[in-house]
């Protein structure tokens, strides 16, 4: 293996095309698969380094306008950094004329015997710059998805509601892309291995479409489903977030086809620093236990680890997309109490038109499990942590309950716990002085207002009294309360859903 410069001269466009198409081009021949290449360009009169990589197979693809000037081209997976000046480094390594190293075809491993020194200096740029970029990129991703990530950490069961075409199912796949490790990536960049979408059908009235069932046609066997296969896959990659999208979730009654999950998710608890749950599928539920063993084999699950049953893996995130119209079913409080609810009705018609800004792509640095998955299942676990604002959260909830006293919308222990967990995570990631108000606002919108529904007798005083507590400082909740109040005045009936 040799080491070379891939020199774009002053042509920034050619540099960008090399990076975009993962190709390296040279004005001469004699390069080989396995050679190390540094991609450089002269920008504003200054030489800069922007990428490095190992040459793969030769290619006929030459995307440059001056393609005829390139005698050879190779596929390459560039490792990219923000372009950094290298003039001083080159002068130090190659005095008095560093230009000799840049011009023409030079094997930098042997040129002036300075190969090790050059590679040490250049590689340090990548190490240092990548660390800075990683920190910045992860911070940007966390800020961009801060609300949804805090919600997932609180309860990995999310409802995404809104009008059709606002990007609800797209968001689920995007989060999977952003957290997918290399081992689970597909070559076509179409579907991450930690993502599955299951379209819900209107005729689902029991759980067999998700949980499977015993068939006695042509012998007794257990019919497994894509839902079970995805759960098993999540168990086999327990430290990677797995995103399941139930598309058009309320086309069928959720309480019927998703009953087991809705019950078992409430059994999650921390034992020996691990989140565990009761079994979705228990060995004891099988008349013929041999069928259970066969199911484990079909799902590639250990008969030792899952000897008694299959629970909900801690890394499984269920996200249901929801349209609220005459063709769908409304949600009972059983569902709403167990889910974190988001509305996605805002539309920016100028967004998403830049083909270069592709959120369905694998990032250089992924969101790791600690940034996505939660570690708590009860408010007591957070309350005993160093969470200074815990009493502020409780005081706020007590004020809400004074208003909700005597109504079916009163806050109970489950919602209290989720407020504490959500605000705890928001506090660890906060970037503004009013972070707690924002967190309380987001949770009030998700967990309190989403449960309020009824006619004037049932909701009029509730909405009015809540507005005395939920002031303009609580932007989302205050706006939603005014919207619900207007709907009540117009229709004599109101709900959270637009």
| pLDDT over 90 (residue 123) | no
What dihedral do alpha carbons 70, 71, 73, 79 form, nearest 10°? -50
Query: For the stretch 93-119, what's the b/e string if a residue is b when 16 or more beta carbons lie within 10 angstroms of its beta carbon?
Result: bbeeebeebbeeebebbebeebbeebb
* Per-residue pLDDT tens digits for 146-166: 889 999 999 999 999 888 877
* Per-residue pLDDT tens digits for 472-485: 999 999 999 999 99
Residues of the chain with CATH 3.40.50.300: 147-370
Query: Whole-number mean pLDDT of the chain?
Result: 90
* Per-residue pLDDT tens digits for 103-121: 889 899 999 989 899 999 9
If you average pLDDT over residues 142-148, what whole number do you get?
Answer: 75
Confidence class for position 354, pLDDT limits 50, 70, 90: low
If you average pLDDT over residues 235-242, what whole number do you get?
Answer: 96
Which residues are CB-neighbours of 58 under 8 A, at least 6 positions away? 33, 72, 73, 74, 75
Single pTM value for the model: 0.73
CA distances to 76, 214, 315, 332, 423 from 254, in Å: 48, 22, 22, 9, 28
Whole-number Å distance between alpha carbons of 312 and 397: 30
Query: For the stretch 279-313, what's the b/e string if a residue is b when 16 or more beta carbons lie within 10 angstroms of its beta carbon?
Result: bbbebeebeeeeebebbbeebebeeeebeeebbbb
Higher local confidence (pLDDT), 382 or 133: 382
- pLDDT confidence of residue 32: 95
Q: The tokens of 268 are what?
A: 């999650």
- pLDDT confidence of residue 360: 80
Confidence class for position 350, pLDDT limits 50, 70, 90: low
Residue the block writes with tokens 């609220």: 324
- pLDDT confidence of residue 357: 54
Cβ atoms of residues 329 and 250 within 8 Å: yes
- Fold that domain 3-136 belongs to in CATH: ph1033 like fold (3.10.590)
- Fold that domain 147-370 belongs to in CATH: Rossmann fold (3.40.50)
- Report the share of the chain in percent with pLDDT over 90: 72
* Per-residue pLDDT tens digits for 432-441: 788 999 999 9
CA distances to 120, 242, 244, 268, 375 from 194, in Å: 37, 5, 8, 21, 20
Which residues are CB-neighbours of 172 under 8 A, at least 6 positions away? 160, 195, 197, 243, 245, 319, 321
If you average pLDDT over residues 239-251, what whole number do you get?
Answer: 95
Residues of the chain with CATH 3.10.590.10: 3-136
Q: What are phi and psi of 132, to 5 degrees?
A: -65, -45
Whole-number Å distance between alpha carbons of 56 and 32: 8
Higher local confidence (pLDDT), 191 or 348: 191
- pLDDT confidence of residue 189: 81
CB atoms within 10 A of CB 448: 23
- pLDDT confidence of residue 162: 82
Whole-number Å distance between alpha carbons of 416 and 439: 13
| pLDDT over 90 (residue 386) | no
Tell me how many degrees the CA angle 253-256-257 measures, rounded to the nearest 5.
90
* Per-residue pLDDT tens digits for 252-271: 999 999 999 999 999 999 99
Whole-number Å distance between alpha carbons of 412 and 489: 29
The length of the chain in residues reads 498
* Per-residue pLDDT tens digits for 42-89: 999 999 999 999 999 999 999 999 999 999 999 999 988 888 999 999
| pLDDT over 60 (residue 142) | no
- pLDDT confidence of residue 5: 94
Confidence class for position 368, pLDDT limits 50, 70, 90: confident
| pLDDT over 80 (residue 132) | no
Cβ atoms of residues 26 and 81 within 8 Å: no
Residue the block writes with tokens 């207002």: 449
Sign of the C-alpha dihedral, residues 208, 210, 211, 216?
positive
* Per-residue pLDDT tens digits for 443-457: 999 999 999 999 999
Distance of CA 209 to the CA centre of its chain: 26
Q: The tokens of 280 are what?
A: 């979705």
């Amino acid at each position: 293996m040799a080491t070379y410069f891939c020199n774009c001269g002053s042509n920034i466009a050619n540099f960008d095309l090399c990076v975009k198409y993962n190709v390296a081009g040279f004005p001469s021949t004699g390069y080989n698969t396995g050679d190390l290449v540094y991609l450089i360009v002269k920008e504003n009169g200054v030489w800069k380094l922007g990428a490095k990589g190992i040459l793969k197979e030769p290619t006929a693809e030459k995307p440059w306008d001056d393609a005829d000037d390139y005698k050879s081209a190779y596929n390459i997976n560039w490792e990219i950094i923000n372009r950094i000046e290298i003039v001083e480094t080159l002068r130090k390594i190659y005095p008095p004329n560093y230009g000799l190293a840049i011009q023409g075809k030079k094997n930098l491993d042997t040129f002036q015997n300075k190969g090790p020194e050059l590679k040490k200096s250049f590689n340090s740029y990548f190490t240092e710059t990548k660390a800075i970029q990683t920190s910045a990129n992860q911070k940007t991703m966390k800020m961009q998805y801060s609300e949804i990530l805090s919600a997932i950490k609180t309860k990995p069961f999310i409802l995404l509601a809104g009008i059709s075409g606002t990007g609800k199912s797209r968001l689920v796949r995007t989060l999977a892309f952003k957290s997918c490790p290399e081992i689970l990536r597909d070559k076509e960049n179409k579907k991450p291995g930690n993502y599955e979408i299951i379209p819900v059908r209107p005729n689902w009235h029991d759980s067999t479409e998700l949980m499977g069932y015993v068939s006695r046609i042509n012998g007794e066997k257990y019919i497994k489903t894509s839902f079970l296969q995805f759960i098993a896959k999540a168990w086999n990659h327990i430290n990677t977030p797995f995103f399941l999208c139930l598309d058009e979730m309320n086309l069928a009654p959720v309480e019927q086809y998703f009953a087991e999950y809705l019950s078992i998710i409430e059994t999650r608890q921390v034992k020996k620093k691990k989140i565990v749950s009761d079994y979705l599928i228990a060995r004891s539920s099988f008349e013929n236990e041999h069928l259970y063993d066969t199911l484990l084999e079909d799902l590639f699950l250990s008969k030792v680890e899952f000897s008694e049953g299959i629970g909900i893996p801690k890394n499984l995130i269920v996200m249901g997309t929801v349209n609220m119209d005459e063709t769908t079913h409304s949600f009972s409080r059983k569902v709403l109490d167990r889910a974190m609810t988001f509305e996605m009705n805002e539309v920016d018609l100028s967004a998403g038109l830049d083909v270069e800004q592709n959120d369905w792509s694998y990032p250089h640095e992924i969101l790791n499990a600690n940034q996505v998955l939660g570690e708590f299942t009860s408010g007591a676990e957070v309350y005993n942590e160093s969470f200074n604002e815990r009493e502020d959260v409780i005081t706020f909830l007590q004020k809400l309950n004074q208003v909700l006293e005597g109504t079916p919308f009163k806050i109970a222990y489950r919602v209290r716990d989720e407020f504490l967990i959500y605000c705890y995570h928001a506090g660890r990631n906060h970037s503004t002085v009013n972070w707690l108000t924002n967190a309380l606002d987001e949770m009030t919108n998700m967990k309190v207002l989403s449960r309020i529904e009824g006619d004037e007798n049932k909701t009029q005083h509730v909405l009015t009294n809540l507005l005395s507590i939920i002031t303009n400082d609580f932007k989302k909740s205050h706006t939603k309360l005014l919207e619900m109040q207007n709907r009540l005045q117009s229709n004599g009936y109101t709900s959270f859903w637009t």
